[in-house]
């Protein structure tokens, strides 16, 4: 089953909605970084919201999210664009705790509650849009709900979840939805939405059982209309060429000192965990190009 999201509206156009399945991508990231269960849940929840926020963009606009609540996972970074290309990592991927009192992965404990959620959107303007809110929950979904209300003045319900196989740490299911109330949504619709969400089983379990994003939308919206579907893929975008350009920007003196002291250079991509190695001659080539 491939990962994708859908854009929808419901309640006679009063509510805008997104629903996503990210199981495969979170499993890919887990394997790349050897993530443990609680960290996978925190990262997967963050990635799922970021993917849906990416789907709110147009053209070549991009979004990056950073969450740092002072907890043992460190910082979580997630990026997405309007084409459904995603990447994410956590600075400390090997974080796991006992299940919390609700029998769920203790994401709050991994993330912490003393810090901020940062959102940066590159909208092709001179300055990127930047917003940040204090972390109010550490469970990720509630933190984004708070962000949407405070920073974007859009009342939103965010439900995201990741179900992890306790035996081998693999991802059973990852996904979720965002509902956004458009101005003038009648009170009775808001009450209905709240009732539907309160009756909904855990979203991670639904996804693991095979519910599609379309079916998830149908569970939370009255009279839903699906407008479009977007395939989601892991795409780091890093390459030997881009890393070479970064090295070149360090300048000739620095590159020569790397040649002398290390005999080359090793550059590690935080997002995909790829290691780029440049030997003495590779660096010489970059230096020669600088001299041209």
**Per rule CB under 5 A, is residue 236 in the interface with Zn ion?**
yes
CA distance 45 to 211: 17
Q: How many residues bind Zn ion (CB under 5 A)?
A: 6
Q: Are 117 and 149 in contact (CB under 8 A)?
A: no
Interhelix angle 37-54/23-33, nearest 10 degrees:
130
**Per rule CB under 5 A, is residue 238 in the interface with Zn ion?**
yes
Choices 164-172, 175-183, 199-207, 237-245; region in contact with Zn ion by CB under 5 A: 237-245
**Per rule CB under 5 A, is residue 269 in the interface with Zn ion?**
yes
Rounded to the nearest whole angstrom, what is the least distance from the CB of residue 258 to Zn ion in the complex? 21
Q: Are 29 and 47 in contact (CB under 8 A)?
A: yes
**Per rule CB under 5 A, is residue 271 in the interface with Zn ion?**
yes
**Per rule CB under 5 A, is residue 65 in the interface with Zn ion?**
no
Rounded to the nearest whole angstrom, what is the least distance from the CB of residue 175 to Zn ion in the complex? 24
**Per rule CB under 5 A, is residue 272 in the interface with Zn ion?**
yes
DSSP SS3 for 86: strand
Taking the least distance from each CB to Zn ion, the nearer of 51 and 178 is 51
In the shown chain, the binding pattern of residues 125 to 164 toward Zn ion, with x for contact by CB under 5 A and - for none, equals ----------------------------------------
CA distance 232 to 7: 13
Q: Are 238 and 267 in contact (CB under 8 A)?
A: no
Q: Are 51 and 203 in contact (CB under 8 A)?
A: no
Rounded to the nearest whole angstrom, what is the least distance from the CB of residue 270 to Zn ion in the complex? 8
Q: Which of 18, 288, 44, 11 is nearest to 164 (CA)?
A: 44
Rounded to the nearest whole angstrom, what is the least distance from the CB of residue 291 to Zn ion in the complex? 29
For the chain, give the number of residues.
292
Site residues for Zn ion per CB under 5 A: 236, 238, 269, 271-272, 274
């Amino acid at each position: 089953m491939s990962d994708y999201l859908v854009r929808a509206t419901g309640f006679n156009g009063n509510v805008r909605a997104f629903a996503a399945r990210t199981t495969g991508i979170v499993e890919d990231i887990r394997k790349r970084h050897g993530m443990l269960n609680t960290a996978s849940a925190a990262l997967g929840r963050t990635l799922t919201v970021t993917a849906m926020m990416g789907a709110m963009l147009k053209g070549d606009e991009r979004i990056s999210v950073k969450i740092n609540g002072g907890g043992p996972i460190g910082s979580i970074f997630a990026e997405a664009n309007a084409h459904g290309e995603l990447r994410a990592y956590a600075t400390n991927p090997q974080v796991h705790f006992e299940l919390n009192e609700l029998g769920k992965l203790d994401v709050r404990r991994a993330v912490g509650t003393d810090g901020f959620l940062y959102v940066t959107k590159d909208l092709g303007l001179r300055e990127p849009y930047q917003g940040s809110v204090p972390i109010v929950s550490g469970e990720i979904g509630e933190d984004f709900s708070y962000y949407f209300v405070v920073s974007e003045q859009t009342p939103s319900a965010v439900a995201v979840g990741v179900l992890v196989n306790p035996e081998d740490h693999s991802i059973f299911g990852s996904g979720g939805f965002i509902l956004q109330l458009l101005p003038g949504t009648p009170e009775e619709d808001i009450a209905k939405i709240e009732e539907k969400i309160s009756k909904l089983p855990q979203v991670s379990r639904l996804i693991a059982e095979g519910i599609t994003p379309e079916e998830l939308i149908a569970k939370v919206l009255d009279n839903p209309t699906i407008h479009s579907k977007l395939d989601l893929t892991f795409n780091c975008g890093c390459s030997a060429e881009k890393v070479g350009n970064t090295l070149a920007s360090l300048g000739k003196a620095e590159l020569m000192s790397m040649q002398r002291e290390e005999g080359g250079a090793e550059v590690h991509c935080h997002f995909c965990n790829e290691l780029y190695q440049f030997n003495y001659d590779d660096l010489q080539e970059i230096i020669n190009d600088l001299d041209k």
